[in-house]
Amino acid sequence: MSSLRKIDVVTLLLGEKRGQMPVKYCASAFAPSNIALCKYWGKRNEELNLPITPSLSISLGKLGTTTSVCLSPEPRDIVTLNNREMPATTKFAKALATFLDLFRPSPTVFFRVDTQNTVPTAAGMASSASGFAALVLALDDLFGWALSTKNLSILARLGSGSACRSVLRGFVEWNAGADEDGLDSYAEQVKGTWPDLRLGVLRLSELEKEISSRQAMKCTRLTSSLYEAWPIKVSHDIALIKESIETRDFELLGRTAESNALAMHATGLAAWPPVLFWLPESVATMRKIWALRKEGLPLYFTMDAGPNIKMLFTADQSDAITTEFPAVEIVEPFAS
């Protein structure tokens, strides 16, 4: 495995721009959250967040993160999340400080980072993807790098893998790439919009995850006998999802995304120690969705590394979905 560190990639990518001072005092940017329809599950390089397979997501329109980065007025990083200062010892502040270290012109330059998540906290959606993407976009403006979308995507990936998809809107594919330095592993927009596509988020548990997606995918890749089937499944599913977008075939999109998510979770079950994110409520919701589908409601779901369920349907079914799931949070991915 390559021994390249994140800092080596940043140096490669920014060249002489790394080490230069910001060109302004403050900059701010928004990046949308994204939900994978074909999942990223397994890294070929843990340090650089390089994936074994490609993945394909949909971004969540207006829902995501707005981040502003300024030069700090004090000799320390100042970090706030939704207007609350986060002590330097918190996981959130530590992750930001480590990422900012990659870009500090000198160890005595500090930043003030204000993060606002517009993803409703009750929706239980991951914010690390939109968070790192918004931070990279804001840093690009602060330092005046004027990087290409490709390079912004690469930098966001160094923060968290799925963040590389959040620098773009709509349907987004993350090319796995094959290079050791990962300069060919970045996200690109997939042509096509789908204005009446809807996501319904069901938050089923307030509990903290027992295992991070990073740990879960590593344990699965190393110990699950089912993992070898995963890349084959992904190559089929990516092709089918692209076909469904081109032909606006909702049934094909839903079926493929649901089956992809279930296959991802199945690889985890065959890992040791076993990786299972589902709660009884998750299984009950899946059964309810399957029963409604049998009755003729075109409704599918996907799940990430947690117990919550994200349903997929079209706008004409919104009323029926709200009747069946009163707590649902409906997201319009293509709302401008």
Please give the residue ranges that form the binding site for ligand PMV (CB under 6 A). Answer: 36, 39-40, 55, 126, 128-129, 160-162, 213-214, 304-305
3-state secondary structure 113-159: EEEEECCCHHHCCCCHHHHHHHHHHHHHHHHCCCCCHHHHHHHHHHH
Amino acid at 222: L
290/160 Cα distance (integer angstroms): 33
Distance CA(252)–CA(295), nearest Å, equals 18
Residues 6 or more apart whose CB falls under 8 angstroms from that of 63 comprise 32, 33, 118, 119, 120, 123, 125, 331
Return the number of the residue (172 or 321) whose C-beta is nearest ligand PMV.
172
Q: How far is the CB of 335 from ligand PMV (least distance, A)?
A: 21
Our measurement of the distance from residue 17's CA atom to the centroid of its chain's CA atoms, rounded to an integer in Å, reads 27
Q: Which is nearer to ligand PMV, 195 or 274 (CB)?
A: 274
**Tokens read off for 235:** 């190559």
Tell me the closest approach of the beta carbon of residue 93 to ligand PMV, in angstroms. Answer: 18
Least distance (Å) from ligand PMV to the CB of residue 34?
7
What are the residues whose beta carbons fall under 8 Å from the beta carbon of 208, sequence distance 6 or more? none
By beta-carbon proximity to ligand PMV, the closer residue of 55 and 224 is 55
Closer to ligand PMV by CB, 104 or 218: give it.
218
Closest CB 272 distance from ligand PMV, rounded Å: 19
User: Minimum distance between the CB of residue 193 and ligand PMV, rounded to whole angstroms?
Assistant: 21
Both tokens assigned to 27:
């900059």
Q: Which of 210, 304, 215, 311 is nearest to 265 (CA)?
A: 304
The residues facing 174 across adjacent strands are: 55, 187
Nearer to ligand PMV, 24 or 209 (CB): 209
Residue closer to ligand PMV (CB basis): 41 or 103: 41
Q: Taking the complex as a whole, how short is the minimal distance between the CB of residue 33 and ligand PMV, in angstroms?
A: 10
Q: How far is the CB of 278 from ligand PMV (least distance, A)?
A: 13
- The angle subtended at Cα 143 by Cα 125 and Cα 18, nearest 5°, is 100
- Residue type present at position 152: L
CB closer to ligand PMV, 37 vs 69: 37
Residue closer to ligand PMV (CB basis): 213 or 317: 213
- In the bound complex, what is the minimum distance in angstroms from residue 151's beta carbon to ligand PMV? 19
Do the beta carbons of residue 36 and residue 134 sit within 8 Å? no
* CA–CA dist 158, 77 (Å, integer): 20
